[in-house]
């Protein structure tokens, strides 16, 4: 499969030094105004882990995601993603770096004027996968997320849960090493939320490192995964098989 | 770039025009309006310039010679004048030709009373200028030439035409300047609208890991196509309007045809088509390039 070859090639370049997938050492991020969004965060997420990051608004969760995507650079500290020093990454290398990271947002962020097939195929087109391979890979990925029959539908014709599954399919079609999910169930009802979480668990079982930022107490408490709790830019708790810690 | 990616990019550029049809129409209309005004003013100015140039060709300086001058010296003076750069043409009018012309113009049948040529010493050179503004320089020179008795010139005509030329130059610069300012204003507004439509799309592409080139290429192709239509449409309209106006004026005001020689639309289009196309495509290219660039830093 061409996708796999391409991704492998990029992975080789990045030289996986250890089992660590994400290493953040004493990372701080300040914006021009106000208190720092992140303040001395140190984290280590291993390859193949499933991690929840929880915390209230303003706790620094979104900044964490933006730093991992290299949308922002830290004010202080060091971030390694798959052995790659994110801060030192040259601008022209960012697209290739991001191809190792699948990302899913609360608001789905699908290309509204393209159908389901085109939204997923788009991720493959940007890494220049030949069309004949795209024609095989995209339907396969759509059936994995349970949307094989809706490949012609436009995003607005789909429910929230279906749109999020399209976003997941797009994030996963290039077989990323890491999946970042920023409030993936934020706009979904409980039934759809659970379906998405099951999918994430299946993806994780296949070896992809999954990091989910969420507010969903029930999901966090039920799934019994590693939970990192943040408050005002600081990691206040990091527990294996943890639960949602209340503010009070 | 793979061939499939290349065609994908072209296809996306084309599809994008139809997807954002209102924005595309607004952009085509904006570019089209600017280039239409440009074309109209160009056609007017080039015709006006032609009228002045035609009038200039008729402006001449006449020199008369000293009494009893030899034919050889006249020939010599003729050669000297011909060598001047400001001279485009020089005609010799002998004394007999001058008298014949005078008789026809002013005397008619009353000329029979003259037995000799009263204009015996009125052989002359009629000198036509390549640039009417140089008339003063030429006259100064002619007055210094030995054997020339008198230099006749039409200062008012020369000054008026020379002034017209300068005026046309200033008006052209002024109009093109105003059109450019209006174009930049309109196009920057259209580009701003384009940005708000595209912001999210560009962001998504960048999050997935698209290179700047991959994000930009369809937009740039879209911009070029919009620019192409934005220049072809006004060219078509100008072609029709110009021919109709010329036909109407020539048919309705025949008196004008002796004064004004309209430049054929084909001649105007030899310059207008490449300039308009280059401007349209250039505006489309630069506009889309800037629109996307602002959002590539994600």
Q: How many domains does chain A have?
A: 1
In a domain, A246, yes or no: no
> What is the structure's pLDDT at A197?
93
Q: How far is CA A181 from CA A4, A95, A102, A159, A203, in A?
A: 22, 18, 8, 19, 12
Q: What is the domain-level CATH number for residue A121?
A: 3.40.50.300
Task: Kindly identify which residue of chain A lies nearest to residue B16, measuring between CA atoms.
Answer: A113
Residue pLDDT, tens place only, B151-166:
888 766 767 777 877 8
In a domain, A132, yes or no: yes
Q: Give A-chain residues touching B9 at CB under 8 angstroms.
A: none
* Total residue length of chain A: 248
In a domain, A245, yes or no: no
Do residue A69 and residue B207 have CB atoms under 8 angstroms apart?
A: yes
Specify whether the backbone of A174 is left (phi greater than 0), alpha (psi in -120 to 50) or beta: alpha
User: Chain B contact for A96, CB < 8 A?
Assistant: yes
> What is the least distance, in Å, from the CA of A248 to any CA of chain B?
35
> What is the structure's pLDDT at A49?
96
Token look-up 């003076």 returns: B77
CATH dotted code for B60-153? 3.30.70.3040
Residue pLDDT, tens place only, B51-95:
877 877 777 888 898 888 888 888 899 998 988 888 888 989 887
DSSP string, A178-218: EEEEESTTTTS-HHHHHHHHHHHHHHHHTT-EEEEEE--HH
- Taking any CB pair shorter than 8 Å as contact, residues of chain B touching chain A are 1-2, 4-5, 8, 19, 200-201, 203-212, 214, 298
CATH 3.30.70.3040: which residues of chain B? 60-153
Of A71, A92, A95, the CB nearest to B209: A95
In a domain, A154, yes or no: yes
Per residue of chain A (248 residues), give pLDDT as tens.
455 555 555 555 444 457 899 999 999 999 887 778 999 999 999 999 999 999 888 889 989 999 999 999 999 999 999 999 999 999 889 999 999 999 999 889 998 888 999 999 989 988 888 889 999 999 999 998 999 999 999 999 999 999 999 999 999 999 899 999 999 998 888 888 999 999 999 999 999 999 999 988 899 999 999 999 999 999 999 988 877 776 55
Do residue B207 and residue A109 have CB atoms under 8 angstroms apart?
A: yes
Total Cβ atoms within 10 A of residue A234: 15
Asked whether the beta carbons of B93 and B64 are under 8 A apart, the reply is no
Look over chain B and give the mean of its residue pLDDT values, rounded to a whole number: 83
In a domain, A244, yes or no: no
Residue pLDDT, tens place only, B244-288:
998 888 888 877 776 678 899 999 999 999 999 999 999 888 888
Does the pTM surpass 0.90? The reply is no
pLDDT at B208 over 90: no
ipTM, 2 dp: 0.81
Q: CA-CA-CA-CA torsion for A207, A209, A214, A220, nearest 10 degrees? A: 50
Task: Kindly identify which residue of chain A lies nearest to residue B203, measuring between CA atoms.
Answer: A109
* Domain span at A29: 2-239
- DSSP H/E element including A77: strand A76-81
């Amino acid at each position: 499969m061409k996708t796999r070859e391409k991704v492998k090639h990029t992975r080789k370049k990045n030289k996986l030094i250890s089992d660590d997938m994400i290493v953040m050492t004493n990372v701080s991020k300040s914006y021009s105004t106000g208190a720092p969004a992140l303040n001395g965060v140190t984290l280590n997420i291993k390859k193949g882990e499933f991690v929840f990051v929880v915390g209230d608004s303003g706790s620094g969760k979104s900044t964490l995601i933006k730093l991992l995507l290299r949308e922002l650079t830290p004010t202080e500290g060091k971030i390694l993603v798959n052995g790659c020093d994110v801060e030192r990454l040259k601008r022209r290398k960012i697209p290739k770096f991001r191809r190792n990271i699948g990302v899913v947002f609360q608001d789905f962020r699908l290309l509204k004027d393209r159908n389901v097939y085109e939204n997923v195929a788009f991720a493959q087109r940007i890494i220049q996968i030949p069309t004949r391979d795209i024609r095989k890979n995209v339907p396969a990925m759509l059936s994995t997320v349970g949307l094989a029959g809706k490949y012609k539908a436009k995003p607005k014709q789909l429910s929230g849960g279906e749109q999020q599954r399209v976003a997941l399919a797009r994030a996963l079609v290039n077989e990323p090493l890491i999946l970042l999910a920023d409030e993936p169930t934020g706009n979904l009802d409980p039934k759809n939320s659970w379906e998405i979480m099951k999918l994430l668990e299946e993806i994780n079982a296949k070896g992809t490192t999954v990091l989910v930022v969420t507010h969903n107490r029930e999901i966090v408490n039920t799934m019994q995964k590693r939970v990192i709790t943040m408050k005002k830019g600081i990691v206040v708790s990091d527990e294996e098989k943890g639960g949602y810690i209340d503010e009070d | 770039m793979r061939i499939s990616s290349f065609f994908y990019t072209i296809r996306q550029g084309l599809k994008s025009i139809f997807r954002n049809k209102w924005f595309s129409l607004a952009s085509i209309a904006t570019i089209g309006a600017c280039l239409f005004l440009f074309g109209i003013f160009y056609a007017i100015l080039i015709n006006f310039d032609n009228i002045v140039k035609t009038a200039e060709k008729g402006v001449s300086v006449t020199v008369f010679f000293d009494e009893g001058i030899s034919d050889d010296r006249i020939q010599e003076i003729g050669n000297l004048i011909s060598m001047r750069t400001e001279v485009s043409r020089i005609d010799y009018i002998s004394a007999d030709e001058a008298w014949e012309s005078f008789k026809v113009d002013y005397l008619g049948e009353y000329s029979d009373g003259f037995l000799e040529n009263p204009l015996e010493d009125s052989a002359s050179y009629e000198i036509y200028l390549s640039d009417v503004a140089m008339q003063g320089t030429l006259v100064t020179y002619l007055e210094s030439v030995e054997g020339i008795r008198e230099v006749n010139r039409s200062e008012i005509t020369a000054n008026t035409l020379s002034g017209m030329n300068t005026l046309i130059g200033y008006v052209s610069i002024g109009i093109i300047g105003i059109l450019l300012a209006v174009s930049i204003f309109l196009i920057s507004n259209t580009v701003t609208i384009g940005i708000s439509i595209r912001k999210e799309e560009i962001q998504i592409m960048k999050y997935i890991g698209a290179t700047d080139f991959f994000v930009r290429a369809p937009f740039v192709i879209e911009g070029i196509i919009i620019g192409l239509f934005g220049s072809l449409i006004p060219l078509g309209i100008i072609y029709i309007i110009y021919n109709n106006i010329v036909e109407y004026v020539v048919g309705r005001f025949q008196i004008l045809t002796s004064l004004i020689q309209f430049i054929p639309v084909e001649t105007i289009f030899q310059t207008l088509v490449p300039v308009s196309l280059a401007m349209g495509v250039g505006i489309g290219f630069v506009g889309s390039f800037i629109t996307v660039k602002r959002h590539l830093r994600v």
